Amino acid sequence: MRYMKYGLGVLAFALLVFISWLTLTPAPQGILVLEYHHVSDDVGDDGWAYTVPVADFAEQLDYLQAEGYTTITMQDFMRAKKGKQELPAKPVVLTFDDGYEDNYTTLLPMLEERHMVGTVYMITNSIGRKGYLSWNQLRDMQNRGIELGSHTANHQPLTSLDREKQAEEMKLSKLLMEWNGLKTIYTFSYPNGAYDEGMPELLKENEYLTAVTGDGGLNTFKTNTYLLQRTNIPHPRLGLTEFKLRLFKSEVMTRLGIHQHLVNE
């Protein structure tokens, strides 16, 4: 019993030191990338975990603005990395995977109301299907400041495919969008966040400039641009408190260097 109490005391002390380190040291600086899917009040059970209700999403956007964040696109990030533009003091990239129709009917007006922008990653073989964005909607979104990216042609887990099929999913999705009159597609989202060490080179060969993972954290100009850190925002169970905790988790992951994709340049 004595040794157990001693062990608990050491654990409590270590936890106190860790918490003090987190709260007293300066927060890490970097570009926050948030991952969404649906923004809607009307989604079935299958999509519940990936859906942020409208009121919650509005609260999250207003919180980001109140905290001084400014939305940018992935192209803004790359232009700044190459010295062609300046980033705001607290940049954030809002990303939306799969390309659901509510991204146009619900999400877009909410962003425009707040003078915000975002990046939508489209499963290209789903374009025009029920519940997904149409070609006309995608063209209109681009014209209104939304950046479009690829989420592959068929949303297959790329790590289960051979190199030829991986490259095909990357290439076909990009070409299909560009052949249908959309502006050049430069950014990519790995389905389910799954990637392997060979995919960054495949993306580079297919003329992508950036790609986002599902690994939380903050991005700097030293982050591998084909393995950008991204923080998932699922259906909230604890309201805005949960949103704040997820942002804080990204800071912690960055501080501790957990799944951070830095390169030496």
Average pLDDT of the chain is 91
The pLDDT tens digits for 80-102 are 999 999 999 999 999 999 999 99
Q: Which residue has the higher pLDDT, 68 or 16?
A: 68
Name the token pair of 147: 């950046």
233 pLDDT above the threshold of 80: yes
**Where do the structural domains in the chain lie, given as residue ranges?**
28-256
Q: Look at residue 27 in the predicted model and tell me its pLDDT.
A: 58
Query: Looking at domain 28-256, what is its CATH homologous superfamily?
Result: Glycoside hydrolase/deacetylase (3.20.20.370)
- When pLDDT is averaged across residues 8-32 and rounded to a whole number, the result is 56
**Cβ contact 48:235 at 8 Å:** yes
CA distance 214 to 212: 7
Q: Look at residue 2 in the predicted model and tell me its pLDDT.
A: 56
The pLDDT tens digits for 98-147 are 999 999 999 999 999 999 999 999 999 999 999 999 999 999 999 999 99
Confidence of residue 17 (pLDDT cuts 50, 70, 90): very low
pTM for this entry: 0.91
Measured between alpha carbons, how far is residue 170 from residues 128, 134, 203 in Å?
20, 20, 7
